[in-house]
């Protein structure tokens, strides 16, 4: 078939750039992506649609080539694709968190109309939405989830506006709640997996009752992808034939860690002094670059620190 030749040529160029990538995970990810992209183009019967798909594939190849040649913007882009910050993998990581199969369904806003039930914020999504470490924008307040700020005060039947102007349209309330849900989860940076903090009592994961059913096995659960990523920020050994400086690679992976929140289930504490329910927390890896500027603040300088700094400045 005449259309096979350009696809084969594009695939060979794709594989050539993939082989130059510095680490095994990136090569595995983009090899699978290359197969999917080129197969999709091959199975497309419409010439115009096939040409459009090949143009998109060629754009990805150009990004890979620029990344392999040391363009940090292009390298950040391929890291975001490979680790689910953008693209289809991002949706696959986020989709399980957008519902909670164990949650009790809220009653319909419009009595008798099942489709008018408001969205359910899972515990995992709630933790991500209310943390500045997992958001592209400012974190939400817990009250924003129960009463979205895009709703007018009139939507509260106990408000003075509702008493003066009358009740707010239930249909408009349903639409506003779902609109807010959709627009806000799209600003979330998904975790690669859900981690479990060992119990404080006996040091074993999942020792508290209910942990096994609460923590969902999503994303890269039961893999070493996150651990390998953290290691690359300390020992970014280049395992391919391409030359990219280790310090440069370490910087790119540290920046990537700043875009990957770590979602951890904290087991309930049952000691005599403190009783805290289990829940989810959001953090960043210690060597993530974003951790230095967001979510953590530097300690205030002491008198000794100031004295040392003045002395050091005078000696220079």
Per-domain residue ranges of the chain:
4-82, 92-299
305 alpha-carbon distance from chain centroid = 38
SS (H, E, C) 298-310: CCCCCHHHHHHHH
A 10 A CB-CB count for 156 gives 14
For residue 276, the model assigns a pLDDT of 61
For residue 313, the model assigns a pLDDT of 40
Which DSSP helix (H) or strand (E) runs through 194?
Answer: strand 194-197
Q: What is the mean pLDDT of each run of 10 residues along the chain (316 residues)?
A: 83 96 96 96 92 95 96 97 97 96 93 95 96 92 96 92 90 97 97 83 44 74 93 74 83 96 84 66 91 42 43 42
User: Scanning the structure block, which residue is given the tokens 């951890």?
Assistant: 264
pLDDT tens string 209-229: 444 446 889 999 999 999 999
Local structure of 195: helix, strand or coil:
strand
What distance, in Å, lies between the first and last C-alpha atoms of the chain?
Answer: 74
For residue 181, the model assigns a pLDDT of 98
For residue 271, the model assigns a pLDDT of 56
Which DSSP helix (H) or strand (E) runs through 280?
Answer: strand 279-283
Which DSSP helix (H) or strand (E) runs through 10?
Answer: helix 4-20
Local structure of 89: helix, strand or coil:
helix
- Whether 235 and 266 have beta carbons less than 8 Å apart is answered as no
A 10 A CB-CB count for 16 gives 13
Rounded Cα gap, residues 125 and 213, in angstroms: 17
pLDDT tens string 260-300: 999 999 877 665 555 566 789 999 999 998 744 444 433 44
- Whether 119 and 177 have beta carbons less than 8 Å apart is answered as yes
For residue 32, the model assigns a pLDDT of 97
For residue 23, the model assigns a pLDDT of 94
For residue 35, the model assigns a pLDDT of 96
For residue 231, the model assigns a pLDDT of 92
Rounded Cα gap, residues 236 and 23, in angstroms: 9
> How many secondary structure helices (H) and strands (E) does the chain include?
13, 3
């Amino acid at each position: 078939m005449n259309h096979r030749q350009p696809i084969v040529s594009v695939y060979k160029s794709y594989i050539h750039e993939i082989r130059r990538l510095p680490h095994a995970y990136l090569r595995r990810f983009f090899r699978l992506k290359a197969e999917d992209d080129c197969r999709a183009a091959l199975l497309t019967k419409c010439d115009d649609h096939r040409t459009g798909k090949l143009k998109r594939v060629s754009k990805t190849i150009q990004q890979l080539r620029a990344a392999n040649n040391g363009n940090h913007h292009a390298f950040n882009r391929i890291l975001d694709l490979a680790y689910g910050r953008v693209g289809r993998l991002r949706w696959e990581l986020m989709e399980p968190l957008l519902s909670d199969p164990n949650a009790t369904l809220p009653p319909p806003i419009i009595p008798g109309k099942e489709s008018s039930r408001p969205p359910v914020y899972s515990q995992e999504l709630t933790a991500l939405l209310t943390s500045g470490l997992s958001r592209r924008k400012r974190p939400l307040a817990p009250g924003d989830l129960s009463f979205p700020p895009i709703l007018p005060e009139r939507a509260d039947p106990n408000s003075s506006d509702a008493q003066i102007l009358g009740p707010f349209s239930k249909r408009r309330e349903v639409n506003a709640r779902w609109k807010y849900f959709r627009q806000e989860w799209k600003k979330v940076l998904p975790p690669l997996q859900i981690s479990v903090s060992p119990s404080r009592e006996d040091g074993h994961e999942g020792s508290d009752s209910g942990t096994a059913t609460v923590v969902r096995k999503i994303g890269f659960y039961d893999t070493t992808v996150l651990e390998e990523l953290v290691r690359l920020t300390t020992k970014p050994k280049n395992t391919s034939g391409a030359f990219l400086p280790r310090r440069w690679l370490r910087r790119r992976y540290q920046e990537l860690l700043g875009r990957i929140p770590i979602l951890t289930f904290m087991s309930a504490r049952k000691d005599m002094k403190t009783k805290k329910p289990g829940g989810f927390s959001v953090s960043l890896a210690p060597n993530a670059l974003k951790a230095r500027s967001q979510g953590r603040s530097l300690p205030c300088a002491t008198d000794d620190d100031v004295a040392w700094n003045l002395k050091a400045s005078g000696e220079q």
